[in-house]
Amino acid sequence: MSRVLDGADAVAAFPLGGIGTGNVSIGARGELRDWELANAPGKGASLPFTFFAVRVARDGHEPVTRVLEGRLRPPHEGDQGYDAGRLAGLPRLQSSRMRGEYPLLQVELADPGLGLEVTLTAFTPLVPLDVDDSGIPGAVLRYTVKNTGAEPADVTVAGSMANPVGIVGRNVFHFPEFAGHPRNEWRDEDGIRGIRFGTDLGERDLRFGSAALTTTDRDVTAKPQWLSGFWQDGVQVFWDDLRQDGRLEPETVESLDPPPHPDWFTRLRVGSLGIVKTLAPQEERDFEFLLAWHFPNRARAWQGNIGLDNAGAGDVVRNHYATRFADAWGVAAHLAARLPGLEAQTRRFHQALHGGTLPAAVVDAAAANLAVLRSTTCFVLENRVFAAWEGSFEHAGSCEGTCTHVWNYAQSAAFLFPELERSARETEFRHETRADGRMNFRANSVFGNAPWEFHPAVDGQLGAIVRLYREWRFAGDDAWLAGLYPGARRALDFAFREWDADGDGVLDSKQHNTYDIEFFGPNSLANSMFVAALHAGARMAERLGEDADAARYREAAGRCAERMDALLYNGEYYEQRLDDVDEHRYQYGTGCLSDQLLGQQLAHVAGLGHVLPAGHVRSAIGAVWRYNFRETLAEHHSVQRTYALGDEAGLVLCSWPRGGRPRIPFVYCDEVWTGIEYQVATHLIYEGLVEEGLRIVRAVRDRHDGRRRSPWNEAECGNHYARSLASWGPLLALSGVDYDAPAATLTIRPRLDAPVVRSVFTTGGGWGEAEVGPDGAALVLHGGSLDLVRLTVEHPSLGRLEATGVALRAGDTVSLTAPTTPPEEK
Amino acid sequence: MSRVLDGADAVAAFPLGGIGTGNVSIGARGELRDWELANAPGKGASLPFTFFAVRVARDGHEPVTRVLEGRLRPPHEGDQGYDAGRLAGLPRLQSSRMRGEYPLLQVELADPGLGLEVTLTAFTPLVPLDVDDSGIPGAVLRYTVKNTGAEPADVTVAGSMANPVGIVGRNVFHFPEFAGHPRNEWRDEDGIRGIRFGTDLGERDLRFGSAALTTTDRDVTAKPQWLSGFWQDGVQVFWDDLRQDGRLEPETVESLDPPPHPDWFTRLRVGSLGIVKTLAPQEERDFEFLLAWHFPNRARAWQGNIGLDNAGAGDVVRNHYATRFADAWGVAAHLAARLPGLEAQTRRFHQALHGGTLPAAVVDAAAANLAVLRSTTCFVLENRVFAAWEGSFEHAGSCEGTCTHVWNYAQSAAFLFPELERSARETEFRHETRADGRMNFRANSVFGNAPWEFHPAVDGQLGAIVRLYREWRFAGDDAWLAGLYPGARRALDFAFREWDADGDGVLDSKQHNTYDIEFFGPNSLANSMFVAALHAGARMAERLGEDADAARYREAAGRCAERMDALLYNGEYYEQRLDDVDEHRYQYGTGCLSDQLLGQQLAHVAGLGHVLPAGHVRSAIGAVWRYNFRETLAEHHSVQRTYALGDEAGLVLCSWPRGGRPRIPFVYCDEVWTGIEYQVATHLIYEGLVEEGLRIVRAVRDRHDGRRRSPWNEAECGNHYARSLASWGPLLALSGVDYDAPAATLTIRPRLDAPVVRSVFTTGGGWGEAEVGPDGAALVLHGGSLDLVRLTVEHPSLGRLEATGVALRAGDTVSLTAPTTPPEEK
């Protein structure tokens, strides 16, 4: 999506950072913002004196020095104006134009007085299917500078950065306070040079860590540690030093304030690294910086707001990335050494994702929310254990335990980094499913702490079974499935006993669910999930030779589907059946619930097809669209949390087109959640209501336009909310690429009505681009490998195209043309 | 100033509340914001579910219910969207137009779908010279509703409010957490009815307090306490109740969640009070609410960031207002009973201030910053002891102790509420001036805590002497002066010993000052203050018969002025004389300091006239204008705090037009402070450089336009910064009204070149309007009394007009016409 943001898009923040590494973001003025390196969220956290600047000198002209950011825009309100650390009083560039196509960012910075064109390219490598190559705690910041003047230009680009290690809070003047003593150090080794930011904290200290601002460039100048002191001597001397000749002098003393220094004396340590080049007229050169960080330690406990047992909080557990890199310098050296390959793969993925023909909003949604996986919402512990919050509050994780009923909606990880979802299934079925089959829907085993005592969640528990099927089907590892199956069987059997009190095959007792309340009686959400889970269970049992289970689940699925349809389908959509909708609070009764077919949607994505009567499903999802999508919310009355409002469009969670709204309906019923919007959009597309699905996706993304909300952060209960990872669903549904690893088949059935449908696709072992055009179809593999018994294309005009025995390696292509010609293979 | 703000002016916040009472503000959408009732700042603090709503019903039409606020504007970013307490999902009105002329606010709210015109009038009474009538912890919120439809309209205006007593923090969901248990209670007594918000905290608890949402109207409907609970049942039921019939039902139970409730169960208690009226077509009616609060207790210590001794922090001291009112109900009853008189006086002052002919920006500056005196920056303790911070950080006071060198610049209190400044002088000269004459420039005696151990501040200490003179001259109480004179003499004599090490009559040793650093050597700031203080000292000594002192001070003043002029005047402006400007950090040397004539400016305001050679003074202040005022700051390089930037205009603290900038100049030299801008503007006007002075004032106010910054909050080191009270100076200088109580004379010498110069004026005992027109002049007294030996008008065309033996009481007028006719008296 070639949306271009400018400096007025003040809430846009493009996050850099890898899977499980934390982030620093770049705003629409090109500024560094939201420092979240140290295993905790920190939206709004700024690092003082941390910025890039440019100095340009030409013979006979006054040198010009500028902060490499677009100008600050109003409001300028602050209890101390802008504190000194923000350097708001330095001149900036007249304009900035940001084009963020995750995972790649470009910001064009321009100013007529500069005689230079500057483009910042920033990214952290992202390689599909590769958690490690996509999990580097660092980023490339490359300033491409073109001399547009008629004379040679001496150019310095200097990055300055405060040592971020050990920050424990901010004082009233907005300056960070530190545990331990940060220390900056100049290094030139391992093919890079720059500043290593360290600390005297012990290696097991929770705050221990390091950072590095480096370059592979040899034309450098540096002031590794500014003067520090009670006042801001350091920045004055730095700025004057830079302005004077574009070369930085190392300081000979730490501070001009005579020692000894009291304990409250500032521990802030800032350093600058510059790259210096002379550019001929019209010459363009890169000034490339590698930023890296390394905060290895987490407390061995969630310490979240739900209150899971935190017995391990006194211990330390390491991030997975800390087992790969000794410190931030090691990260930077690794990034430098592997950059050409990593960048090439990242660009190939970027091109496959953004260069296809799917509608811009669909690609934008799928791409932008990948940031969730690389945000503070997610992390990977040593031994590659994936764990995640629901989202990220401003300064803490939101709702711990890789919550099953929230992650239910997520598709992006399953299809791009399936290892992560497999890890979650292992946690769920090996460690969180009790002997009686009750699954703790928030996992505490990842930290080795006591399991959570709470009632089970019907949607989360049953969804996990469908997702286990999805993961197995995508990876095709029967042994892995066999290891988890016992837990899955317990979890599925638990549903009959726990939620089907009267044994009629339809779940109808007290059912906790993702709306954080309990539904009573037969309802569409729980039973659509049940049917899907039973089908998934049957397929898995079948594969593993558990024929009795398979038959039992298949029979139960049929019974549940039939009875649910009879009980809940009102001729238009599926309801909740209650004699008195107000006997219990928080029900929906005759309401048209957006999630009424969540199970069916999961079944579609997982390749299970229709598990409920197709005609009724199509009618019901059409009703969801008709009743719950609003072109404007100006007349909407909601006293709940608000994610869409005023003239914005959005899909509400529920409506009561036939009356019957409870006095106190469920507590989120009038809200708009992007995760549900995406799952409904996905479902609409699967059912052929393509335009309706696309309209919803556009609505979501229009709300995230950089001015209203950041394009790279869809919040629900927390920023970077996991449910928004449902955003991969519309891409799957539209492109129609369905991979079945156990069968070794790949089927393409595009649902977009377009002359050429070209999109990124993934399988458990490879990824590339699939294209269906007027004359046939083609697959190109960019990474991994793909061995298929059969490749099938359901071509919109040419009918079915097939190839058999397809074996592709990275770089290979296979093309299928009309059946009159035999399929070409490589 | 008839500046009209709309909903896009998102940072505008008009504070309600009295002197020393804390505030709640109203934003440009008409919304209540920034709840700061409980003796602490809280910018950004919202109170959940606290808002006004309107319901209108007409026969044959669907009733319409709306939040009485303009629509929310982007950005809509938040880590949980908008939390439920903000009710962002309810419909609001299409437009809002805010006109804030402190102390009166009007917000017009309009929506085509409503058939009503609604105007909110909000204010807290402000009566010049009367600290008590201007110190009511409450506000009037009057919604004037006009039925613009063709049919009668049943209208309910309902205010809802969360009990604000005992808030100790916010949870991750942004909801307040409480000490104690808030309880709401319906009352109908003392001529008012409504909801009293109480607590079960003890009366000596720091968090103890009460609030009240009341009305004198008899047509009421109420739900004194919403349902409370784990979820937001209460708001759903409230909103539906209001929408249904515009009448509210009291709830019969506290919560639908079955007891017993765990300790973490919400303590939030919300209540609603509605006023119900039927309006004929085109009829207009008032729906008037009185909001009051009462948080009597403060810790007996500053507990500020400077670190003064806080030994008394365990004790409680009361606000002065708590000695006047038993609780918030008492406040509301008082406000109700006295409202006609208080409103009339408030409106008279508003009209006198805003209805004159001084330039809009000057009036706007003077009026808007009166909010400082009624902000969390200032407070009045029992026994009417005035105390103040420098400003207010977001959640704490900024820099404690009624800092002498910051309050040096303030003029508003001296001329509108002189009792407050007299209290400060009493603190300074009775309690904070030590035996050797060193004055603690931050007062800890107001809390009875140990004095601060720090070096004295040359500008603050000497300025206090000029201000003592100013206060005495304005009030004319010789006994009061005699009581403080010994301290003043010690303080003045201290200067000779402490700061004039070589005894040459010019201060030249280490001089701490308002830039929070030490100047060395002879400098214009300290010595201009010294000369002014010596003149003030001489005048006071003379009056008290201390002739030796008088002579000594007069002689020293002459010597200092002469030598300062010789040493520091460079032919254009006054410098700092140093052999090596970099021997000490933080000097200004040859710089053109905006404050170089601060002492002379104070002398002008205090009626001391020129204390330095008038020609040099005029040249120097002209140089300040020429070199330090910037029409744009786009090319300004400042690494310091930033209060003005980019395309904004502003006056920097210092510049070096002749070179010689130190390597590390004083730490605020490149900043822009409104307090200094106002003092320079005042001075320019006194010296006849009127247009230049006005340009500066306009620049300040253009930066506070509601979109860039709030018009009612000029921040420096904290919001509502005390130095901004220099904003009364331009009004004084332009209107040229000078009152001399000891001489019982009032002189008017307008400096504005306009056909009619009409302005508010004050004396120690009365206030009114002064007008100088083509045919003569007139004084009308609106409050207090004024007995003059002589009234003199220096008329720009008619020459001197005089009246003798003038005695005015409130309502009286005296007119002077051309000398051919004898002056008319009443």
In this complex, do A236 and B664 lie within 8 Å of one another by their Cβ atoms? yes
**Are B305 and A667 inside 8 Å of each other by CB?**
no
Element (H, E) at A788: strand A776-795
ipTM: 0.96
Angle between helices A728-735 and A598-605 (to 10 degrees): 60
The whole-number pLDDT of residue A820 equals 59
- What is the structure's pLDDT at B592? 98
Q: How far, in Å, are A69, A143, A277, A363, A726 from residue A284 at the CA level? A: 19, 10, 10, 31, 41
Q: Work out the number of other CB atoms within 10 angstroms of the CB of residue A420.
A: 25
C-beta atoms of A715 and B91 within 8 A: no
pLDDT for B444 beyond 80: yes
B427 in A contact zone (CB under 8 Å): no
Q: Which residue has the tokens 């970077």?
A: A720
Distance from C-alpha of B101 to C-alpha of B106, rounded to nearest angstrom? 8
For residue A823, pLDDT over 90 is answered with: no
What is the average pLDDT across A394-410?
97
Chain B residues within an 8 Å CB radius of A708 = 74-77
**A11 — contact with chain B (CB < 8 Å)?**
yes
pLDDT at B819: 64
Chain B CB within 8 Å of residue A44 CB: no
Q: Name A747's bridge partners.
A: A738, A792
Q: Do B82 and A394 touch (CB under 8 A)?
A: no
φ, ψ for residue A806, nearest 5 deg? -90, 130
Cβ <8 Å between B664 and A235: no
Taking an 8 Å cut-off on Cβ atoms, the answer to whether B75 and A237 are in contact is: no
Percent with pLDDT over 70 in chain A: 99
A-B Cβ pairs (cutoff 8 Å, strict):
208
Q: Rounded to the nearest 5°, which phi and psi values hold at A787?
A: -120, 115
The alpha-carbon gap from B716 to the nearest alpha carbon of chain A, in Å, equals 5
The answer to whether the Cβ–Cβ distance between A305 and B172 falls below 8 Å is: yes
Closest among A738, A753, A754, A755 to A791, alpha carbons compared: A738
Whether residues B645 and A72 touch (CB distance < 8 A) is answered with: yes
Token pair 């499980």 is found at A20
CB contact under 8 A, B256 and A640: no
Q: Tell me the per-residue pLDDT of B214-235, one tens digit each, with 9 for 90 and over.
A: 999 999 999 999 999 999 999 9
Name the token pair of B330.
Answer: 């008492």
pLDDT digits (tens, 9 = 90+) for A246-273: 999 999 999 999 999 999 899 999 999 9
Rounded-to-10 torsion of CA A475, A481, A487, A493: 90
Confidence of residue A108 (pLDDT cuts 50, 70, 90): very high
pLDDT (tens digit per residue) in B64-78: 999 999 999 999 999
What distance in Å separates the CA atoms of residue A423 and residue B640, rounded to the nearest whole number? Answer: 50
Residue B73: C-alpha distances to residues A650, A764, B10, B70 (Å): 17, 44, 8, 9
B645–A contact, CB cutoff 8 A: yes
Q: Taking a contact as any Cβ pair under 8 Å apart, which residues of chain A between 654 and 673 contact chain B?
A: 663-665, 667, 670-671
Structure confidence at residue A826 (pLDDT): 41
* First-last CA distance in chain B: 32
How far is Cα A129 from Cα A474, in angstroms, rounded to an integer? 12
Q: CA–CA separation, A550 vs B316, rounded Å?
A: 73
Q: List, as ranges, residues 726-755 from A with C-beta within 8 Å of B.
A: none
Q: Check if the beta carbon of residue B58 is closer than 8 Å to that of residue B153.
A: yes
Closest Cα in chain B, distance from residue A256 (Å): 9
Residue A444 amino acid letter: N
pLDDT score, position A821: 52
pLDDT at A206 > cutoff 80: yes
Cβ proximity of A442 and A306 under 8 Å: yes
Strand order in the sheet with A32-36: A13-16, A23-27, A32-36
Instruction: Kindly state the average pLDDT of the residues A360-375.
Output: 98
Q: Quote the percentage of chain A above a pLDDT of 90.
A: 98
Q: Which tokens go with B759?
A: 């302005």
Q: Which of residues 194-233 of B touch A (CB under 8 A)?
A: 231-233
pLDDT for residue A824 is more than 70: no
pLDDT tens digits, one per residue of A686-740: 999 999 999 999 999 999 999 999 999 999 999 999 999 999 999 999 999 999 9
Buried b (16+ CB within 10 A) or exposed e, B688-698: ebbebbbbbbb
Contact A645 B88 (CB under 8 A): yes
Find out whether B424 and B402 touch, Cβ atoms under 8 Å: yes
Separation between Cα atoms, residue B101 and residue B140, nearest integer Å: 15
Q: Which of B11, B81, B91 sits opposite A75 (nearest CB)?
A: B11
pLDDT band at B1 (very low <50, low <70, confident <90, very high): very low
Share of chain B above pLDDT 70, in %: 99
Mean pLDDT within B436-444: 98
- B7's tokens: 């909903």
| Residues A285-326: tens digit of each pLDDT | 999 999 999 999 999 999 999 999 999 999 999 999 999 999
Chain B segment 377-396 residues within 8 A of A by beta carbon are 391-394, 396
Cβ(A510)–Cβ(A586) below 8 Å: no
Task: Please judge whether A79 and B664 are an interchain contact, meaning their C-beta atoms are less than 8 angstroms apart.
Answer: no
Query: What's phi and psi for B122, nearest 5 deg?
Result: -135, 140
The residue in chain A having the minimum alpha-carbon distance to the alpha carbon of residue B515 is A231
Name the residue among B346, B408, B404 with its Cα closest to residue B374. Answer: B346
pLDDT digits (tens, 9 = 90+) for B382-415: 999 999 999 999 999 999 999 999 999 999 999 9
CB-based contact B207:B180 (threshold 8 Å): yes
Are the beta carbons of A23 and A38 closer than 8 angstroms? Answer: no
* Strand A378-381 relative to strand A385-388, pairing: antiparallel
User: What is the Cα–Cα distance from B300 to B700, expressed in whole angstroms?
Assistant: 36
Peptide bond into A75 cis (omega under 30): yes
Round the average pLDDT of chain A to a whole number and report it. Answer: 97
**Strand duo A776-795 + A745-748: pairing:** parallel
Q: State the angle between helix axes of B598-605 and B458-475 in degrees (0 to 180), rounded to the nearest 10.
A: 10
Residues B241-248 have a mean pLDDT of 98
CA pair distance A506, A499, nearest whole angstrom: 8
Tokens 């005592």 map to which residue?
A: A453
Beta bridge partners of B24: B16
Nearest by CB to A638, from B75, B89, B664: name it: B89
Looking at the partner chain, which of B88, B305, B396 has a beta carbon nearest the beta carbon of A642? B88
B633 touches chain A (CB under 8 A): yes
Q: What does the block give as tokens for B558?
A: 């002459």
Inform me whether the pLDDT recorded for B159 exceeds 90: yes
Could you tell me which of A793, A761, A800, A753 has the C-alpha nearest to residue A777? A793
Q: What's the CA angle centered on A502, arms A496 and A507, to 5 degrees?
A: 50
Residues 6 or more apart from B47 whose CB is under 8 A from it?
A: B32, B35, B85, B161, B162, B164, B176
- Give mean pLDDT, residues B637-666: 98
No. of helices (H) and no. of strands (E), chain B: 17, 37
Q: Please state the rounded mean pLDDT for residues A590-604.
A: 98
CA distance A212 to B346: 61
* Opening angle at CA A547, ends A541 and A552, nearest 5: 85
How far from A695 is each of A354, A469, A699, A700, B141, CA to CA, in Å?
19, 30, 6, 9, 44
**B637 to chain A: nearest residue by CA?**
A90
- The structure tokens listed for B768 are 């009114």
DSSP letter string over A586-619?
A: S--TT-EETTTTHHHHHHHHTT---SS-HHHHHH
| C-alpha distance across the termini of chain A, in Å | 33
Using CA atoms of A303, A304, A308, A311 in order, give the dihedral in degrees to the nearest 10.
0
How close is the nearest chain A Cα to the Cα of B762, in Å? Answer: 32
The kind and range of the H/E element at B185 are: strand B182-189
Mean pLDDT, residues A578-590: 97
Please determine, for residue A825, whether its predicted confidence score (pLDDT) is greater than 90: no
* pLDDT over threshold 50, residue B571: yes
Band (pLDDT 50/70/90 cuts) for residue B501 is confident
- Assign A148 to helix, strand or coil: coil
In chain B, which residues have their Cβ closer than 8 Å to the Cβ of A664? 233, 236-237, 256
Q: For A205-357, where are the E strands, in sequence order?
A: 210-215, 220-223, 270-279, 284-294, 297-299, 316-318
Nearest to A248 by CA among A222, A215, A213, A278: A222
- CB contact (8 A) between residue B393 and residue A80: yes
| Helix A547-568 × helix A524-543 angle, to 10° | 160
CA dist A325 to A335, A674, B519, B614, Å? 11, 36, 51, 72
Contact B242, B87 (CB under 8 A): no
Band (B825; pLDDT cuts 50, 70, 90): very low
Interface test with A, best of B111, B230, B640 (most A CBs within 10 A): B640
Q: What's the pLDDT score for residue A818?
A: 81
B695-754: pLDDT as tens digits? 999 999 999 999 999 999 999 999 999 999 999 999 999 999 999 999 999 999 999 999
* pLDDT score for B102: 98
Q: Where are the beta strands (DSSP E) in B673-798?
A: 737-740, 745-748, 757-762, 766-773, 776-795
Plot region of B738 (φ>0 → left; ψ -120 to 50 → alpha; else → beta): beta
Collect all residues of chain A within an 8 Å Cβ-Cβ radius of residue B665: 236
Query: Which amino acid, residue A230?
Result: F
The answer to whether A256 contacts B585, with C-beta atoms less than 8 Å apart, is yes
pLDDT tens digits, B11-58: 999 999 999 999 999 999 999 999 999 999 999 999 999 999 999 999
CB contact B707 to A (< 8 Å): yes
Q: How many other CB atoms are there within 10 angstroms of residue A63's CB atom? A: 16
| Subunit contact A708:B78, Cβ cutoff 8 A | no
d(Cα A155, Cα A153) in Å, to the nearest integer? 6
pLDDT at A499 over 80: yes
Q: How many helices (H) and strands (E) does chain A have?
A: 17, 37
- pLDDT of B2 reads 59
**Buried-state track A484-497, b at ≥16 Cβ within 10 A, e below 16:** bbebbbbbbbbbbe
